[in-house]
């Protein structure tokens, strides 16, 4: 029987486009294995940091539980770290999710929700100091393309989310399938989670 995994991406005003649609492209190339949904607190449409808007599948008050939770970054995270409705929703979803993931500054939201306490995690290197200030009990990794800690996957900035998504596909399915997805997308998958030249650019190592 084909394994099916429901994925929820939480959106908020000024989310980062590639944080969302880069990973969703990878998962979406395997429709028999992954079903994708966009979820937000209220409304029907959410604007990205770059301008284009996305139509929601669910709101917080009418969505089911999901197997995989994906939290993007973007300028909106600076506001949403102080949104108790969003943070509580993340806690509830994470309690039953098989995997909890973030891209870029999305890890700041997971950290503020207390979900990364005692775990290793990473984030966008350009915003490293701000993100790490949101979770003092997190073992933040200064040099990492993405970090796996049990069922939590966190990635560095923007394009790193695609590498993380492929790594998660490899774990859920197998490495050959993940490589096939990268080939279909004509994407050069960085398979080494420690590949991180941006840590040096931003003088974190």
Catalytic sites, residue numbers: 104
For residue 201, pLDDT beyond 90? yes
Domain range for 67? 5-201
* Residue 30 DSSP code: -
Is residue 170 scored above 80 in pLDDT?
Answer: yes
Is a pLDDT exceeding 60 seen at residue 4? yes
**How many CB atoms are located within 10 Å of the residue 80 CB?**
24
Tens digit of each residue's pLDDT (9 = 90 or more) over 72-88: 999 999 999 999 999 99
Average pLDDT over residues 185-194: 97
Q: For residue 205, how far is the Cα from the chain centroid?
A: 24
| 138-165 residue pLDDT tens | 999 999 999 999 999 999 999 999 999 9
What pLDDT score does 3 carry?
76
Q: What is the pTM of this model?
A: 0.97
Question: Residues 55-84: what's their mean pLDDT?
Answer: 98
Q: Taking residues 2-29, report their average pLDDT.
A: 96
CATH code of the domain covering residue 75: 3.40.50.880
Q: How far apart are CA 46 and CA 38, in angstroms?
A: 10
Asked if pLDDT for residue 54 goes beyond 80, the answer is yes
Total structural domains within the chain: 1
pLDDT over threshold 60, residue 1:
no
Task: Name the average pLDDT for the chain.
Answer: 97
DSSP conformation letters of 40-100: ESSSSEEEBTTS-EEE-SEETTT----SEEEE--STTHHHHTT-HHHHHHHHHHHHH-SEE
Average pLDDT score over residue span 123-137: 98
- Return the half-sphere exposure (C-beta side, CA atoms, 13 A cut-off) of residue 67: 11
């Amino acid at each position: 029987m084909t394994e099916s995994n429901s994925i929820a991406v939480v959106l908020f005003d000024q989310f980062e486009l590639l944080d969302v649609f880069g990973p969703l492209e990878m998962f979406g190339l395997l429709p028999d294995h992954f079903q994708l949904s966009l979820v937000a607190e209220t409304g029907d449409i959410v604007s990205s940091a770059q301008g284009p808007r996305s139509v929601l599948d669910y709101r917080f008050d009418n969505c089911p539980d999901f197997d995989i939770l994906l939290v993007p970054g973007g300028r909106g995270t600076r506001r949403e770290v102080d949104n108790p409705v969003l943070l509580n929703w993340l806690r509830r979803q994470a309690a039953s999710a098989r995997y909890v993931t973030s891209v870029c500054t999305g890890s700041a939201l997971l950290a503020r929700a207390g979900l990364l306490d005692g775990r290793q995690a990473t984030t966008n290197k350009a915003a490293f100091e701000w993100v790490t200030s949101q979770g003092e009990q997190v073992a933040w990794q200064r040099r990492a393309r993405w970090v796996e800690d049990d069922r939590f996957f966190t990635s560095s900035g923007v394009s790193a989310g695609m590498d993380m998504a492929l790594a998660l596909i490899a774990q859920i399915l197998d490495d050959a399938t993940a490589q096939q997805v990268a080939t279909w997308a004509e994407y050069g998958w960085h398979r080494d989670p420690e590949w991180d030249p941006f840590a040096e650019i931003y003088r974190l190592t």
